Structure 1
Amino acid sequence: MTDSYCLVSKMLFAKYNGNVPATASAWWKDLNSQCYGGQHGAWFDTGLLRRLGEGDSVLFWKDVWIGEEPLRDRYDALYCASAQQDNLVRDCGTWVAGEWNWEFNWNRFLSRQEEDLLVNLRIVVSAFSPSRGRADYWAWSNEVSGSYTVKSAYDVLHKQVQPVEGGIFKDLWAVRAPSNALALAWRAILGRIPTRDNLRQRNVLTETSDLSCPFCLHSIESIPHLFFSCNLSWRVWMFMYNWCGVSSVLPQDYAANFMQFLQGYGNQRWRQGAWAIWIAAINVIWYSRNALVFKDEEVNIQKVLDLIQLKSWSWLKAKIKGFSYTLFEWQSHPMLCLEVI
């Protein structure tokens, strides 16, 4: 795919003309996005190095085969004067008595400064020469062996993900809730919930698709809107605060919302229990949204609130030793129940 001269690359780029329409296959969308223009840029392309064999498929000036950039970028003045701009390595020299000699041709006489650059270029390429009987090949720069591995690719992408400040993920995964519920909250904080605006950005939905929030039908369905600023969601959170006997503003940023929820009450273990309420709210709002979209089930605000209380209570009762309060006691005095944690 990275080799623009290979048949598969030519075929795919001829079909899509360098652009990926919404109707393209899921495989090609993912490949193009991850390797050539996705969130992390051309990570795969930049991880490949061209290794010299006979030099019959490596472009002298344009391919990265010495160092970390093409020679045309390092010696741009010489490249502009070269009569061999599109030549392969094997066409930029000859074998004489078993030794390789570099030979360069120019479209004009070189200036004194360019002559100095040429001396430097000859020193650099003198350490390299084609190898008879050995094919050119690709090497993966992120492995000492030069071989591509899934682990090395994961490491490259993992390093490019911007960490959320404050150790929020450490706090999130310590919450007393089921792993699937925590995973949904984790995806929400990362902005990876498949809301309609996210699906549009990934070309899953077309430009003519309805992107409105299924709850209010007014605003575009984004993660901040769906979970926090939509009128229905806002009412849910206000009930949560009122239920816990506190008042607070409602941050629209998911990470800030998580960290601020019931902030200033109890120790870290207490907050891990309190965050179970936050996790339950995120999950119930999302599943209520899906029930509306896919099953046409009407959203009942009281049912949503009751389900949040039920889920958070059942999680804490199952995961915290000594949490023996009844559902009625939890619904009546949540802050006092959390004191046992």
Structure 2
Amino acid sequence: MVLADGGGGLLSGGGSLSASVIVVGGVVGGWFRDNVSKIVGNGRDTYFWTDPWLGGVALSVRFRRLHDLSVNKNRMVEEMFAKGWGEGGEAREWCRRLWDWEEELAGECRLLLANVIWQDSTADAWSWRLDNSGSYSVRSVYDVLIRDAKVNLLTCGMIAPDAQMCVSGCGEVETTQYLMVSCPIFRELWSHVRAWVGICGADPLYVSDHFLQFTYLAGGAKSRHSFMQLLWLLYVWVLWTVRNNSQFNNTEISINQMVDKVKMHSYWWMKAANAVFVLAVHTWLSCPLLCLGIG
């Protein structure tokens, strides 16, 4: 969509939006270009065919046939309008005579161009969508790259909007924060793990706080602290594995099975680390701290 704005907003490089053509959109192909739009002022620095200055899509894409036949492929917007798009205008120079259906395309393009206005005193500029100022910033890119996986993939257009929902089926948007400590389905697993170890506690709102609190719930002894750290990391691994299997393999989620995974994998991990089991291994499933001799 082309918007001729009469307001007094500022361009990324300075200047007024008055009578400037504001293009909403970016070049098709790539999240970076999808977040760039072209603001046409005098049209001297904007390629007529290949820049996404009209409706967010380059005319070479929108009217590919006309671009292929044009002898003015590398002209700027100002040049093409100066040549004229009316009947007999030099901008309408083709490699050969157009077929009837191609003439219809040219007519459609001409009608689209008839709505374009710009201000000769204003230079063309690129605008960066991810920053409120319209100017490109490394920080804005960093924020996008570290965003939660599903939100990031949605922004890049790599997944459908409904795919951003939590895999538990709770109906909320999935983020790392939500998945770890807020989801009513997955949050239940923390209660089961604490009950298995024989401790009590609440779930903090933030992941970093959750890690610190959980690892000290069994007391301050170094051996207990290390074991609780292992359990927390193992929980994350189990949660992420189950989540990915549900997302990509369409498997069902069972909290009881997740609890069993935490119990068995923690045993295997401790065994791989040459941990000393004071009591028989079967006691691990009911009292892991006692089995390790730190209960």
TM-score by length of 1: 0.42
Relative to total residues, which structure has the larger helix share, 1 or 2?
A: 1
TM-score by length of 2: 0.47
